[in-house]
Chain A
Amino acid sequence: MKKTSGVVLSDEQSYLLDSRLGPVARERGFGSIGEFVNAAVAVPTGPNALALVDAMTTHETFFFRDVGFWKSLEELVLPRLFAVAGPRPLNVWSAACSHGQEAYSLAMLLEEKFPAVARGTRILGTDISPATVERAREGLYSNIEVNRGLSAARMVKYFEQGRGGLRVKPLLRERVQWQVHNLLQLPPGVRFDIVMCRNVLIYFNEADRKTVLQFLTGATAPGGFIGVGATEMMSLPSLAPGWYTKS
């Protein structure tokens, strides 16, 4: 896992091996977890390795996760970005986007609070797992997922009925692009006004976390902002809990 993605599991998480890898190993036609793991290790960038990383990392995220983070974005970060040259379309990167709730949450927030900016803003969502990126692109969420962070008013405004759940409407889906990307590799060759990378740095060891943070900082335009998880720290000026500015 560390070779493929940089993700490191603690001893306490080792119990996950059986419950998570067993089904994946069987699905991929291996006779045992051991055989599956050996095949994954043999090709660290291959499909088995990616499937292993996908199975072992927690995809739990939800819409508008951490109310304080989104409040700071709306009331502090975005006004600061617009302070100099007025409201303008932005480039935003949702790194380690998981199933896409963060990127779509941003699209909803912009549509509601800054509609003139929303239309031209480009949101890029990336994740290391192709399957995860596909799920995000599809924008279909189960009732359990929709229950978290989404008010009924937003459900009705931004979602349509899909098979087995609710699907993000085309209006919002069109505002987000998706790519497979490993945080330990060079970031997309664009400078972003906002980079969000939350609740994934905890999985990296010290050295890799430093590398990722350097990449994230490098990908942020001067005057831009980086949003990380509430307990994750950066050595940049902090605007609010979880928000750092690259002056």
Chain B
Amino acid sequence: MSKLAVVVDDSAAMRRIQTRAMEGLGWTVRAASNGEEALALLRSMERVDLLLTDWHMPGLDGLELVKVLRADAQFASLPILMVTSDAVLESVQKALEAGVNDFLMKPFTNEALAERVAGVMGG
């Protein structure tokens, strides 16, 4: 049974890029275009193994999404990778404090994504 990932990004192109990259690593991927949609999707899924989320999105942004998830016992230990162009150290710090497991800066290579995913999954 392949692992299940949810990709959240308000850019359709970014969703496609990350979905293809993750599928290339053998994952099954579902996608959402904003925080609220992601929350609804996650809550509807029987199982999810990894969340990749953008930060800056309209409405519920990625950082707030992470905080909401970490406050929910169901998702307290869900591996979360923030994937964002907000590439300053202060943002990395804030993301870690919110509860992400790791942080990938855009633009990224497929190798970098694969490494980060392996890292958060304990590989």
Contacts and interface: CB of A to CB of B under 8 A. Distances in A.
Contact of A152 (B90, B96, B112, B115): B96
A148 B102 contact: no
A10 interface: no
B105 A146 contact: yes
A12 B96 CA distance: 44
Contacts, number: 43
A160 interface: yes
Interface of B: 87-90, 92-93, 95-96, 100, 102-105, 107-109, 111-112, 115-116, 119
A148 B88 CA distance: 16
A160 B93 CA distance: 11
Interface in A106-158: 143-144, 146-149, 151-153, 155-156
B103 to A, nearest CB: 4
A155 B102 CA distance: 10
Contacts of A144: 105, 107-109, 112
A151 B109 contact: no
Contacts of B95: 152
24 contacts: A143-B105, A144-B107, A144-B112, A146-B105, A147-B104, A147-B105, A147-B109, A147-B112, A147-B116, A151-B102, A152-B92, A152-B96, A152-B100, A152-B102, A152-B103, A153-B96, A153-B102, A155-B89, A155-B103, A156-B89, A156-B93, A161-B88, A161-B89, A161-B90
